[in-house]
């Protein structure tokens, strides 16, 4: 039986800012669309900066500490956080820093495969899984998720077999937890992934950027901690969890059996993280858990609120509450809407959502909706969406 979520020691970060506060922001979320649009699209959260992070950045500005990133504090902080949060004992020596998660998974997959080789992804999935790897000369092979939005192992094995036919090298870029569906892969599922990868000789790289954002009724399992996972690589960053996209940094973690390859990557020319990103993310991992617990409690309320609102205003839509992340996947095929639902909702409801087809096969008729905002904003957005489906 799942344990109840701990009582947060901090107020809900999602209710601290008003819509007027948010509209003063100059980031993409709040500037792409006209002021009458409610933006529930890109992965930015409508929260104030966690106090420990703000204090560290203010110190750096006051001190003129504007140079290049240095030292091991960042990787040490992730190792300590992983042990506390997930019971995962991983050494900082298994880590190297990189500019951001996208750079990290692209670089590592280019290290493990050759131009023209295939990289398998589970569609629908985060759009940069396609674009950056194609730009790097890799071919994308989809192994679509099942109807339940979980990994489809028949599809995955077929893709692995096809990608490695003739002795070609191949990679598998796994999103864990999954964006956009909010699925938290189980240990059993990840062990099956590792076994299949070993059987077909596919190299596994896992984007675990949403790892801290798993709800209390589920759990995050680090891929490198499962049987067979020691031959994989994982990417971590605090940026999604503590809303730090503007000052990026990330960490490549290598399993115990790939340390020679990790050292080769660490010694190769590649972009490192920003100094501010390292400062902020180090503090986030070390001192940001009380804020994170309050955020998760607020997100839990919002995911449940969305279920109620969809039932009330969008009868015919299908919503499965996410097990992780603040990104939700809404099946709008049962609504009386022509074309891409995101275009309909932007035009007729003045609500900005992510377009499902941009996530690959399985995305048609769907939208991604970001719940990391004030519950009043979610309520008004879904009310508008519902009203737009009954116009005329």
Residue-wise pLDDT for 170-214, tens only, equals 999 999 999 999 999 999 999 999 999 999 999 999 999 999 999
Task: Select the more confidently predicted residue: 10 or 328.
Answer: 328
Gap between the terminal Cα atoms of the chain: 48
Q: Is 321 left (phi over 0), alpha (psi -120 to 50) or beta?
A: beta
- Give the 3-state secondary structure of residue 118: strand
- 7, pLDDT greater than 70: no
The pLDDT of residue 156 is 98
pLDDT at 1 over 50: no
Residues 6+ away with beta carbon under 8 Å from 65: 59, 275, 279
Domains of the chain: 13-50+289-388 (3.90.1150.10), 66-287 (3.40.640.10)
pLDDT of residue 4 exceeding 60? no
Q: For the segment 249-266, what is each residue's pLDDT rounded down to a tens digit?
A: 999 999 999 999 999 999
Task: Write down the pLDDT at residue 325.
Answer: 98
Contact, 177 vs 209, CB < 8 A?
Answer: no
Say whether pLDDT at 3 is over 80: no
10 pLDDT band (50/70/90 cuts)?
confident
Looking at residue 391, its pLDDT comes to: 66
Q: What is the pLDDT of residue 276?
A: 97
Rounded mean pLDDT, 130-155? 98
pLDDT tens-place string over residues 153-170: 999 999 999 999 999 999
Q: How far is CA 339 from CA 197, 300, 336, 345, in A?
A: 38, 31, 10, 11
How many other CB atoms are found less than 10 A from the CB of residue 367?
Answer: 28
What percentage of the chain exceeds 70 in pLDDT?
97
The pLDDT, as a whole number, for residue 392 is 45
When pLDDT is averaged across residues 3-8 and rounded to a whole number, the result is 52
Residue 167, CA distances (Å) to 63, 116, 117, 170, 317 in order: 55, 13, 11, 9, 44
| SS3 state of residue 128 | helix
| Cβ pair 356, 124 in contact under 8 A | yes
Segment 291-327, tens digit of pLDDT: 999 999 999 999 999 999 999 999 999 999 999 999 9
- The mean pLDDT of 29-36, rounded to a whole number, is 97
The DSSP secondary structure of 140-181, one letter per residue, reads: EEE----TTSS--HHHHHHHHHHHTGGG--EEEEEESS-TTT
Maximal CA-CA distance, the chain: 64
- Alpha-carbon distance 203 to 117, whole Å? 12
Q: What three-state secondary structure class fits 95?
A: strand
Q: How confident is the model at residue 390 (pLDDT cuts 50, 70, 90)?
A: confident
Residue 32 has pLDDT above 70, yes or no: yes
Mean pLDDT score of the chain: 96
Of 361 and 4, more confident? 361
What pLDDT is attached to residue 311? 97
Q: Considering the chain, what percentage of its residues have pLDDT values greater than 90?
A: 95
């Amino acid at each position: 039986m799942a344990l109840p979520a701990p009582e947060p020691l901090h107020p809900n970060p999602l209710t601290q800012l008003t819509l007027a506060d948010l509209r003063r922001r100059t980031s993409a979320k709040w500037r792409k669309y006209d002021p009458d649009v409610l933006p529930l699209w890109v992965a930015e959260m409508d929260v104030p900066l966690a106090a420990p992070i703000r204090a560290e950045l203010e110190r750096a500005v006051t001190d003129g500490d504007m140079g290049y990133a240095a030292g091991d504090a960042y990787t040490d902080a992730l190792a300590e956080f992983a042990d506390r949060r997930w019971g995962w004992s991983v050494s900082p020596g298994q880590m190297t820093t990189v500019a951001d998660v996208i750079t990290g998974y692209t670089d590592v997959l280019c290290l493990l495969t050759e131009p023209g080789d295939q990289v398998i992804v589970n569609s629908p999935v985060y759009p940069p899984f396609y674009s950056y790897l194609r730009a790097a000369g890799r071919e994308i092979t989809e192994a679509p998720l099942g109807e339940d939005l979980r990994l489809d192992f028949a599809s995955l094995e077929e893709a692995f077999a096809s990608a490695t036919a003739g002795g070609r090298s191949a990679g598998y870029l796994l999103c864990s937890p999954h964006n956009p569906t909010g699925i938290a892969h189980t240990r059993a599922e990840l062990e099956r992934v590792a076994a299949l990868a070993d059987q077909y000789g596919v190299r596994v790289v896992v984007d675990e950027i949403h790892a801290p954002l798993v709800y209390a009724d589920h759990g995050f399992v680090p891929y490198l901690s499962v049987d067979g996972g020691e031959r994989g690589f994982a990417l971590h960053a605090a940026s999604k969890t503590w809303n730090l996209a503007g000052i990026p940094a990330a960490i490549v973690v290598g399993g115990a059996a790939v340390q020679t390859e990790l050292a080769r990557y660490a010694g190769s020319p590649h972009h490192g993280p920003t100094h501010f990103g390292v400062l902020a993310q180090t503090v986030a991992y070390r001192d940001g858990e009380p804020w994170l617990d309050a955020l998760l409690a607020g997100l839990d309320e919002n995911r449940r609120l969305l279920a109620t609102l969809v039932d009330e205003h969008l009868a015919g839509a299908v919503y499965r509450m996410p097990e992780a992340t603040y990104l939700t996947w809404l099946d709008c095929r049962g609504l009386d809407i022509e074309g891409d639902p995101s275009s309909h909702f932007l035009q007729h409801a003045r609500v900005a959502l992510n377009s499902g087809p941009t996530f690959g096969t399985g995305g048609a008729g769907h939208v991604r909706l970001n719940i990391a905002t004030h519950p009043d904003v979610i309520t008004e957005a879904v009310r508008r969406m519902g009203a737009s489906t009954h116009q005329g």
